A and B are shown apart, each in its own frame.
Chain A
Amino acid sequence: MKRFIAFVKKEVYHITRDFRTMLILFGMPVAQILLFGFAITNEIRDANIAILDNAKDHVSEKLTHKLLSTGYFKLDSYLQSTDEMESTFKKGKIKMVIIFNKQFGEDLTKRHSADLQIIADASDPNTANTLINYVQSIVRDFVVDLNRGFTAGVRIEPEIRFRYNQNLKGVFLFVPGLITIILMLVTAMMTSISLTREKELGTMEVLLASPMKPIQIIIAKVLPYIFLAFLISMIVLLLGYFVFGVPIKGSLALLLFELLLFVLTTLSLGILISTVAKTQLVALMMSVMGLLLPTIILSGFIFPIENMPMILQWISNIIPAKWFIIIVKDIMLKGSGIEMVWKETLIIAGFAFGFIMLSIRKFNVRLG
């Protein structure tokens, strides 16, 4: 046992000695979560628009004023003719042009119907869509005001409630994903590199020749990384909780248990990589290309899986992170208990078991 503790100590020294890597390991998640929380939003405010007012009458001015007073739009310029649209769009300064027809107000009073034209820069489709929706709802309100006093036709009032994330904050989606990536990065990548380093430098032989059992060596090697991974996940959780109000609705014990299960999976992946890779660079490439990138892209961390083509959706099923993210989201944001996530938990447990078996086999083969 004493020997074991000494070995763990050696590992801890190894890790903490590389100050820069430590700084990045702790700095990266903190910087990312702050960025995501504060800077990355899909809420559109102050979108630059141009207005081409051919009517210049009382009604068009009123509607313009209403559009600009909502905070969604900011007036970039008044255009004089349709020819200017193209060049203004090309400068990339505006997102949308609103065109009032010549007799906008007159049409409205005489014919009770007027035409409004919107041209959106759809090179960013979602923004275009959202902006058009904004204009539609503002104009809708405007028309209701105009019709006040008349029987304004049928009204159906929608009442909308956003569940699990009332203010539509992006961080809510991001915290579970970030924890997953960090666990992957620290446990799988760092352990695979640290194990191959011993191999590359030849010190692995020395260790194996020591009276410690191989399994003890491995456990001693990965223990500090497990601790590190936990520590960083806790920092992310706390930041999310205190700075952005990301709740932990479910049971913390269950969350920690799932965390541990996932760490086992990624650790065994890391060990597996280290048994295959000969040099640090190869281990690094394998964990980046084989683990990190697929995890970032296909786990549902940033991009919703439902929208992907079927093939990619199938592939996403063999990525443990996908299941883990579902679990963390459910526990943290929906407050689900084990009865809701047992299926995903079983899948991860299956992965963990499979990878551990595989890496033990590989490891033994290598010894022989």
Chain B
Amino acid sequence: MLQKEFRQIFRNKGMLPIIFIMPIVQLLILSNAATFEIRNLKIFFVDFDKSSYSIQLKNKFFQTDYFLTTGESENRAIAEEFLARNEADIICEIPSDFEENIIKYGMSKIFFKINAIDGMKAGLSMNYSLNILEGFIRNLNEDLSFRLNPQMEANRIKNININFSNWYNERLDYKTFMVPALLVLLVTLIGGFLSALNIVREKEIGTIEQINVTPIRKYQFIIGKLLPFWILALFVFTIGLLCTRYIFNIPLSGSLFVLYAFAAIFVLAIMGIGLFLSSVTDTQQQAMFVFWFIVVIFILMSGLFTPIENMPIWAQNLTKINPLRYFMEVIRMVVLKGSGFSEVKNHFMIITLFAIGTNAIAVWRYRKKS
């Protein structure tokens, strides 16, 4: 049985390159494309003031690599048009008495209009802009208080300095965040699709009847079906890990053994789902559709793109039945933070339960059918 399955896999010359090359290509393209890192925001200035302060403020924006200036005008309508045409992400309007008000009253206003179709981008744009504004104000304060009251006032104003450090990913590199998680995706797709399509294929072609009449035991049949894909999925995982290490230069902080152990159990759980689908559907096309449907939901709810903590409570509870979520957490913890077995103990327990559960259901379904 095992030999047959292996032979079937290797005989299919068209599938092999897909299985081995696809993951690498996907990893390369996805890690580059799948980025929410936001830089080069296009900013458009409407400067009614044209004073030395407004120029200073604008220079502050130029100096960061978050913003790119796309243009400047004294006409609001032109700015609006830039925003509408996607040629600007954010409009910064400086009112005409900007400098005068600062000097006279120590208070002024500034307006930002942000294209918010992409909500997250808009939120970050706002944060970046406010930080720049904050820096500008700080400079002004140092400047002004020095000019007005050289000794007294400057000391009066209380201040809290914030020092922050970013652990585990100092340069805030988005790829470091995404690549390990993409490995989970790869393993899920390979393990899941192959096992989902396999038995269904035998059914469609009719060869399942032939296997059913052989003296092979049910558990032998299931193991024979699963083992080759299991090895294949772990092999793909290995390729992916090597890419992570040597192409993306993301060092593995934690234990390789913990990672593999988890991956091994995880693939079992996913294959259980695949097998189950395989036994309830009638054609490959159907199996593919159903699996695709389930995987898309699993991916969206796994914390791959958006943190689970941001979801409403009911959705957070839903993610508890999502095996991808656990692997996603474990791989990020182990690879980036160097968490050890004791820290991911619970994850191990849950995923083992998943593996046993899904496979038990799959075997039970299969028995009923034959």
Interface residues of A (CB under 8 A from B): 18, 20-21, 24, 27-28, 31-32, 35-36, 38-48, 87, 89-92, 95, 108, 112-130, 132-133, 135-137, 139-140, 142-143, 146-147, 150-170, 172-173, 193, 280-281, 284-285, 297-298, 302-304, 306-309, 312, 326, 329-330, 333-334, 336, 340
Contact = CB atoms under 8 A, between A and B. Distances in A.
B111 A159 contact: yes
A40 B306 contact: yes
A173 B123 CA distance: 14
B336 interface: yes
Interface stretch (B240-248, B259-267, B338-346): B338-346
Interface bin, chain B? 35 or more
A298 B110 contact: no
B110 A156 contact: yes
B315 A38 contact: yes
Contacts of A340: 84-85
Nearest to B32: A309
A169 B119 CA distance: 6
B78 interface: no
B37 A307 contact: yes
B332 interface: yes
B159 interface: yes
A121 B164 CA distance: 11
17 contacts: A32-B297, A43-B123, A95-B309, A112-B159, A114-B159, A116-B160, A117-B164, A121-B168, A122-B168, A123-B336, A125-B169, A143-B160, A156-B136, A159-B110, A159-B112, A298-B33, A304-B121
B307 A163 contact: no
A89 to B, nearest CB: 6
Contacts of A48: 309
Contacts of A172: 116-117, 119
Contact of A326 (B86, B115, B310): B86
Contact of A157 (B107, B144, B164): B107
A166 B134 CA distance: 24
B163 to A, nearest CB: 5
Interface string B113-138: 11111111111101101110110110
B58 to A, nearest CB: 14
B301 interface: yes
Given A21-B289, A121-B167, A164 B284 contact: no
B166 A122 contact: yes
A92 B329 contact: yes
- Most A CB contacts (10 A, CB to CB) among B29, B83, B85, B333 go to B29
A136 B134 contact: yes
B107 A156 contact: yes
B131 A136 contact: yes
B77 to A, nearest CB: 14
B163 A117 contact: yes
Q: Which of A150, A168, A173 is packed against the most chain B CB atoms within 10 Å?
A: A168
Nearest to A40: B306
Given A35-B300, A113-B161, A280-B285, A168 B119 contact: yes
B360 interface: no
Interface in B292-315: 293, 296-297, 300-301, 305-307, 309-312, 315
Given A42-B306, A140-B134, A193-B285, A122 B162 contact: no
Contacts of B37: 125-126, 307
B113 to A, nearest CB: 5
Nearest to B34: A303
Contacts of A136: 131, 134, 162
A39 B119 contact: no
Given A126-B36, A156-B110, A147 B158 contact: yes
B117 A112 contact: no
B16 to A, nearest CB: 14
B176 interface: yes
Interface of B: 18, 29-30, 32-40, 83-86, 102, 106-124, 126-127, 129-131, 133-134, 136-137, 140-141, 144-145, 153, 155-170, 172-174, 176-177, 281, 284-286, 288-290, 293, 296-297, 300-301, 305-307, 309-312, 315, 318, 329, 332-333, 336-340, 343
Contacts of B338: 90
A329 B117 contact: yes
B161 to A, nearest CB: 5
B85 A154 contact: no
Nearest to A127: B307
Contact of B144 (A87, A154, A156): A154
A153 B157 contact: yes
B297 A31 contact: yes
Given A91-B343, A132-B164, A155 B159 contact: no
A42 B303 CA distance: 11
Given A32-B300, A113-B159, 4 more contacts: A38-B312, A40-B305, A40-B311, A147-B158
A118 B163 contact: yes
B62 to A, nearest CB: 18
Contact of B293 (A27, A91, A118, A137): A27
Contacts of B312: 38-39
A21 B285 CA distance: 9
B129 A135 contact: no
A119 B107 contact: no
A50 B160 CA distance: 19
Q: By CB atoms of chain A within 10 A, which of B111, B122, B144, B338 has the most?
A: B122
Nearest to B36: A126
A308 B35 contact: yes
A168 B116 contact: yes
B296 A28 contact: yes
Contacts of A304: 36, 38, 118, 121
B133 A156 contact: yes
A241 to B, nearest CB: 16
A241 B124 CA distance: 26
A119 B131 CA distance: 18
B33 A308 contact: yes
A165 B339 contact: no
A122 B109 contact: no
